[in-house]
Chains A and B, each alone.
Chain A
Amino acid sequence: MEVSASALDYLLIEAVPVARDVIEQLGIEDQDEAHHRIELYGYQVGKGLAQVFTRSRPRMVQQLEIIKFVCKNLWEVLYKKQMDNLKTNHRDTYVLVDHNFEFCRRMGTSLPPQATAELAYPYLCFPAGIIRGFLHAMGLSSTVTVEAPELPMVTFNVRIE
């Protein structure tokens, strides 16, 4: 079954004010707690997608194989394109780069890049969470951080623990 892509866009855009609204109601001032919640929305989605994917294919075991799957298959399902670049130090650290991140393509502002990156950051916690959730479901515990000093280029730093 299909739905319109903009239905999901509306939901993801609104997820940010919802997270802020919730922490305010809980009496929490630290905005990182809002970001944490958005990351958790993504984390659950990543876990769910891992279940969907693994229904119909043999289990992947190699770390690099799983990361490549994120860059190709997972990204294509989410954003209709693959990651543009993958770098690794071959010691549990991976850098995944999307040169033209779909969700941010229309996110231009007239602000300086640093300010724009700060505005975009909460929205990027969602895909970072998806990656962490997906990896977790594949048996890899990780931390995923995201930075986007030059939108729409977005960089995800994945460290397997």
Chain B
Amino acid sequence: MSKVRSVGEEVWKHKTDKINSELLTLTYGSIVAQLVADFDHDYAKVNKQLDKMGYNIGLRLIEELLAKTGLPRCQNFRDTAEAVAKVGFKMFMNITPTISNWSVDSKQFSLVFTENPLAEFVELPDKPNARDLWYSNIYAGVIRGALEMVQLQVEAEFVSDAVQDPSLPTEIRVRLVKVLEDEIPPGED
């Protein structure tokens, strides 16, 4: 799978319309700020809404990824991790998170981000419970939605975020729940 990184870079270089990331940062920030205001600083609700938003995006974004890369079906969950980090994040966000902390059974890994265009220059609201907000939670939803479309049911959640505490890494934990059965139409086997 060492080819995976070059697939991501190739698509980014030659098949991607690019914009200044500031536009995305501002747009995402304004949506999060409005959610925080509408839900009156109930961050559990904000996190849930961001995750749902990401999930719906993930369901659609995987089509573009597969069409532009022609990636073959992943043989195992380690391949999947590579595709998420080096193709998915590379081609849409132009970043490549590090894959780390594999569980012994190879069903859980972490994505660790050293840069995050969504959270550039972000300051959390000045509220005692502001640390309950997972500012970039849309990522978790996107991963969950996109992988579901390739028959992988996963859970994805933030473990820590440098936006909350600069001494911590920005880390998302991804857990394989199960491989979904392909739906075979009756009478065609």
Binding site for B on A (CB under 8 A): 1-8, 10-12, 14-15, 17-18, 21-22, 25-26, 37, 40-45, 48-49, 52, 77-78
Among B20, B26, B45, B57, the residue within 8 A (CB) of A2 is B20
Question: CB-CB < 8 A to A41: which residues of B?
Answer: 27, 30-31, 34
Report the Cα distance A92→B53, complex, angstroms: 39
In this assembly, does B64 line the interface, its C-beta being within 8 Å of a C-beta of chain A? yes
Binding site for A on B (CB under 8 A): 12, 16-24, 26-31, 33-35, 38-39, 45, 49, 52-53, 56-57, 60-61, 64, 91-94, 117, 120
Among B34, B92, B117, B120, the residue within 8 A (CB) of A37 is B34
The answer to whether A3 touches B94, judged by C-beta atoms less than 8 angstroms apart, is yes
Rounded to whole Å, the gap between the CB of A35 and the closest CB of chain B is 13
The answer to whether A3 touches B34, judged by C-beta atoms less than 8 angstroms apart, is no
Question: CB-CB < 8 A to B120: which residues of A?
Answer: 1
Given A41-B27, A41-B34, also A6-B20 (CB < 8 A): no
Question: CB-CB < 8 A to B39: which residues of A?
Answer: 22, 25
The answer to whether A44 touches B30, judged by C-beta atoms less than 8 angstroms apart, is yes
Report the Cα distance A40→B26, complex, angstroms: 12
Question: CB-CB < 8 A to A21: which residues of B?
Answer: 49, 52
Question: CB-CB < 8 A to A22: which residues of B?
Answer: 34-35, 38-39, 49
Rounded to whole Å, the gap between the CB of B64 and the closest CB of chain A is 6
The answer to whether A18 touches B30, judged by C-beta atoms less than 8 angstroms apart, is no
Question: CB-CB < 8 A to A37: which residues of B?
Answer: 34, 38
Given A10-B60, A11-B24, A41-B31, also A3-B49 (CB < 8 A): no
In the assembled complex, 30 residue pairs joining A and B whose CB atoms fall closer than 8 Å, in A order, are A1-B22, A1-B120, A2-B18, A2-B94, A3-B19, A3-B92, A4-B16, A4-B17, A4-B92, A4-B93, A5-B18, A5-B19, A6-B17, A6-B92, A7-B93, A8-B27, A11-B24, A15-B31, A18-B35, A21-B52, A22-B38, A22-B39, A22-B49, A37-B34, A40-B30, A41-B27, A45-B30, A48-B30, A49-B26, A52-B22
Question: CB-CB < 8 A to B117: which residues of A?
Answer: 1, 3
